[in-house]
């Protein structure tokens, strides 16, 4: 039997969008991109997709992609199918709009329980919009399964997942029993590009769409709220430090930095 792998992905604002083009709603504390800048699949999640497809290439796996949100761009969110994944489930409901990490993990857990049979869940190390890096950890907790972070290589053998995990001075090898959740880091390497054949198949592929009612779930509200959102003020003041010689200038610079508590 092939592995049943689930990959969680997120649609995000394109991180290449110029900051000056972003639209900030200071009252509701939200950020949106201009209409001429389409969203993208989170780049770190692309690497989780790549890890799943390497397992599919090497030993056979059925790869299901899940994403939670409220307004998907189909040409964007179908990218994992264009890369070679088999199925896609979209969790789409007004209730799922602007969820925090806790709520997103709760919704994803309900969907994976509805899918039923799974061996391995893969996710990216963080999302490029808010960089919270919390959802996969919460998902593993809701499902009651092991979680391994910062993976640069993922293998499965004898009902175990074996992970090369990035640490500050190298890497370590960790194994866990299936089912498990593995958070993939960018050290995995470059994700593959979509092929023409898979892209054409993705156009025809119709994702399953599940609502809060389908999942029999109710999100009680955000556990974490953004209290303030603002555009930082850039101070362009420039101070010239003069001295009798280079040593004197260096001494005065050090004193100035210390007074500013920068050293």
Residues 63 and 142 in one domain: yes
Q: Both 184 and 121 in a single domain?
A: yes
On whether residue 259 sits in a domain, the answer given is yes
Supply the pLDDT for residue 220: 64
142 plus 263 within the same structural domain: no
When the pLDDT of each residue in the chain is averaged and rounded to a whole number, the result is: 92
What was the pLDDT predicted at 79? 97
pLDDT attached to residue 90: 97
Q: What was the pLDDT predicted at 99?
A: 85
> Do residue 156 and residue 82 come from a single domain?
yes
Rg, Å, the chain Cα set: 22
CB atoms within 10 A of CB 134: 17
Residue at 75 is within a domain: yes
Spatial distance between the Cα atoms of 67 and 7, rounded to a whole number of angstroms? 9
Say yes or no: 251 and 146 in one domain. no
Examine residue 220 and state whether it is found in any structural domain, yes or no: no
Q: 125 and 67 share a domain?
A: yes
Q: Is residue 228 part of a domain?
A: no
Let me know whether 201 and 148 are in one domain: yes
Tens place of pLDDT per residue across the chain (263 aa): 789 999 999 999 988 888 778 888 877 777 888 877 889 999 999 999 999 999 999 999 999 999 998 789 998 999 999 999 999 999 999 888 878 899 999 999 999 999 999 999 999 999 988 888 999 999 999 999 999 999 999 999 989 999 999 999 999 999 999 999 999 999 999 999 999 999 999 999 999 999 999 999 887 666 677 888 877 777 777 888 998 999 999 999 999 999 888 88
What is the domain range of residue 144?
A: 3-215
Neighbours of 45 (CB within 10 A): 29
**CA 177/CA 162 separation, integer angstroms:** 9
What domain count does the chain have?
2
Q: Are 181 and 140 in contact (CB under 8 A)?
A: yes
Q: Is residue 178 part of a domain?
A: yes
**Residues 141 and 254 grouped into a single domain:** no
Residue 7 is part of a domain; what is its CATH number?
3.40.50.620
Same-domain status, 153 and 238: no
In the DSSP assignment, the letter for residue 42 is -
Residue 222 lies in a domain: no
Q: Give the burial class of 133: count Cβ atoms within 10 A of its Cβ; 0-12 exposed, 13-18 middle, 19 or more buried.
A: middle
Give the integer Cα–Cα distance in Å for 198 and 177: 32
């Amino acid at each position: 039997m092939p592995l049943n792998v689930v990959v969680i992905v997120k649609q995000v604002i394109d991180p290449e969008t110029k900051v000056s083009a972003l639209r900030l709603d200071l009252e509701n504390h939200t950020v949106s991109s201009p209409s001429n800048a389409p969203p993208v699949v989170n780049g770190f999640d692309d690497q989780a997709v790549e890890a799943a497809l390497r397992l599919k290439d090497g030993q056979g796996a059925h790869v299901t992609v899940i994403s939670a949100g409220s307004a998907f761009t189909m040409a964007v969110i179908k990218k994992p199918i264009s890369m070679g994944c088999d199925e896609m489930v979209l969790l789409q409901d007004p209730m799922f709009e602007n969820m925090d990490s806790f709520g997103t993990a709760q919704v994803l857990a309900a969907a994976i329980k509805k899918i039923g049979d799974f061996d391995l869940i893969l996710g990216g190390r963080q999302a490029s919009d808010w960089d919270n890096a919390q959802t996969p950890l919460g998902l593993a907790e809701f499902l009651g399964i092991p979680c391994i972070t910062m993976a640069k290589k993922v293998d499965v053998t004898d009902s175990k997942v074996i992970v090369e995990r990035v640490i500050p001075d190298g890497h370590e090898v960790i194994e866990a029993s299936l089912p498990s959740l593995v958070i993939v880091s960018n050290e995995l390497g470059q994700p593959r590009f979509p092929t023409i054949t898979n892209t054409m198949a993705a156009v025809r592929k119709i994702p399953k769409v599940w609502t809060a009612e389908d999942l029999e779930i109710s999100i009680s509200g955000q556990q974490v709220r953004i209290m303030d959102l603002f555009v930082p003020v850039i101070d362009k003041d420039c101070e010239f430090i003069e001295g009798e010689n280079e040593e004197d200038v260096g001494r005065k610079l050090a004193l100035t930095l210390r007074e500013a508590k920068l050293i």
